Amino acid sequence: MSASQTALLIIDAQESFRHRPYWDVADLDRFTRRLQRLHDGAKEAGAKVVQIFHVEKDGPFSIASGHVRALEPLRIDTDARFEKTRHSALIGSGLDVWLTRNGIGRVIVSGIRTEQCCETTTRHASDLGYEVDYVTEATLTFPMQDREGRLWSAAEIAQRTELVLARRFARIASVEEALAAL
């Protein structure tokens, strides 16, 4: 599929997360470097860049908070911007209509959180018939504790996400592999 039929989805890469108790900067530098490279390469190739922000009524994800903006130090040049209130960027945001109107058949998924909004959007996009590249190295998540008390590292969560998405819902791709397909 050509670059003009591809959209890079940058999901929830926003300052709001810095104000959550689980915020962790351990992987932040790697994430922002890889996402910026993906963005820059997609723009250069002629793919559409779409930024999606998660919005809530109150707290750091509210518009009034001033935190619903691109995560620093990212420099994002968007072709479209959407706000969502659900996990999937394709529910109630208008993104699905925009993708259809722009002839998009392939999406590249990136953003925050790996196993939450990025994974959910990937599954939804696949079910809608889009080709999906899931670029794990351009996603970010944080350690989580399960109900038995085990702490899962961000790396373990990313591996689990790749496991459940690969060959079912998406092609797992590096930044360079996703860009090469453009």
HEC string of 71-133?
A: CCCCCCCCCEEEEECCCCCCCCCCHHHHHHHCCCCEEEEEEECHHHHHHHHHHHHHHCCCEEE
pLDDT of residue 63: 97
From first to last of the 182 residues of the chain, give the pLDDT tens digit.
788 899 999 999 999 999 999 999 999 999 999 999 999 999 999 999 999 999 999 999 999 999 999 999 999 999 999 999 999 999 999 999 999 999 999 999 999 999 999 999 999 999 999 999 999 999 999 999 999 999 999 999 999 999 999 999 999 999 999 999 99
pLDDT of residue 179: 98
User: Cα dist. 10→119, 144, 146 in Å?
Assistant: 12, 22, 27
pLDDT of residue 74: 98
| Claim: this prediction has a pTM higher than 0.85 | yes
Strand order in the sheet with 80-84: 80-84, 48-54, 6-11, 106-112, 131-140, 171-172
Rounded-to-integer distance, Cα 175 and Cα 172, Å: 10
Rounded-to-integer distance, Cα 172 and Cα 111, Å: 14
pLDDT of residue 171: 98
Sorted by where each starts, the structural domains of the chain and their CATH numbers stand as: 3-180 (3.40.50.850)
